[in-house]
Amino acid sequence: MQSQKPSVSLIRANSYDRTQLRTSIETLLEPLGGISAFVKPGDRVLLKPNLLTGARPTKECVTRPEIVYEVAKLVQEAGGKPFLGDGPAFGSARGVAKANGYLPLIEELGVPIVEFSGKRYEVVGEDFNHLLLSKEAMEADVVINLPKVKSHVQLTLTMGVKNLFGCVPGKMKAWWHMEAGKDQERFGAMLVETARAISPDLTILDGIIGHEGNGPSGGEPRALGILAASNNVFALDRAIVEILNVDPAIVPTVAASQKLGLCPDLSEIHFPQSRPEDLRLTDWQLPETMMPIDFGAPRVLKSTFKHLYIRFIKEPMQAYR
């Protein structure tokens, strides 16, 4: 009899070679029912990677394009219609994807890249009903969340829940940092409510090579050798925190999901393959110095102008050249 507990599939995986990666992802998804358990013929499927920045393409700051490629192929083989989208802090989704080597693989499959546009949707937590969310994510038939595991100077770690903050379009993210002030608990709750509103059907985490230290972009690559998947993004994040030997109380997204009753205890999670203790690291590097959550108004304005410059001046000029 199948367990009713939320399932998190964890496996060892050490290569982005496409043939090996295909096998790894199929093995990862097999106990969850395979891709066909999530994608039906005709479904419009959003693939939401972490497209943080185009500035450090060799530092493992984004989800590897090979993972997006193999997941997109599986979606197409199941009869789904994948499209790729994100809301980078700086520049466009297409520009960041191009800088990180996505275009040859994505264009091979004919997968379009969409730029997120915002619309106001009602969420469970009334405090956050003025938050704009991506229309493209909310109206997709299926959302497949494809985060990268990274240390984070404001949130300790960024995993599945934090990756869905990319579904808050453009510079709304910076304004939310300002709105939260120094209230880390409120900001964590906002990220959790965003994840609950998006409600990804499947999360597949890229932990083959992570990014440790002063992330999400200022650290260094670290071979971690794992892939993780679940239909419960909160359970998946709880498992990754255990693997990295990090106290869940110091990760605002995990702490908020526990407080809101969304994150199960480890004993309540079914691990059909490897267990977190089988994959545990004891020397994962967290940030040397944490930064406050809040963005002051000058920083928000500077960030907004930088985003507009990259998206509407720098990227078009590079494309023209």
| CA dist 261 → 122, 193, 257, 264 (Å) | 20, 12, 6, 7
* Chain length of the chain: 321
Given a contact cutoff of 8 angstroms between Cβ atoms, the answer to whether 158 and 61 are in contact is no
Within the chain, residue ranges assigned H as helices are 18-29, 65-77, 93-99, 103-109, 135-138, 160-163, 172-180, 184-198, 233-243, 252-259, 297-309, 315-320
User: Which two structure tokens, joined as six digits, stand for 172?
Assistant: 């709304």
Tell me what pLDDT residue 71 has. 98
Instruction: Give kind and range of the element (H or E) at residue 153.
Output: none
| pLDDT score at 180 | 63
Exposure class string for 146-157: b at 16+ Cβ within 10 A, else e: bbbbbbbbbbbb
pLDDT at residue 311, rounded to an integer: 47
pLDDT for position 294: 62
For residue 207, the surrounding DSSP H or E stretch is strand 202-212
- Tens digit of pLDDT at every position of the chain (321 positions): 344 899 999 999 999 999 999 999 999 999 999 999 999 999 999 999 999 989 899 999 999 999 999 999 999 999 999 999 998 877 899 999 999 999 999 999 999 999 998 888 877 777 777 778 999 999 999 999 999 999 999 999 999 999 999 998 866 676 666 666 568 888 899 899 999 999 999 999 999 999 999 999 999 999 999 999 999 999 999 999 999 999 999 999 999 999 999 999 999 999 999 999 999 999 999 999 998 776 444 444 454 544 444 444 544 555 445
**Bond into 216 cis (ω within 30):** yes
Predicted confidence at residue 232, as pLDDT, reads 98
Q: Which two structure tokens, joined as six digits, stand for 65? A: 């394009």
Question: Could you tell me how far CA 160 lies from the centroid of its own chain?
Answer: 5
CA distance 285 to 205: 19
Contacts of 32 (CB under 8 A, 6+ apart): 7, 9, 38, 202, 229, 230, 231
Strand, helix or coil at 86? strand
- Residue in 305, 321, 260, 318 with CA at minimum distance from that of residue 89: 305
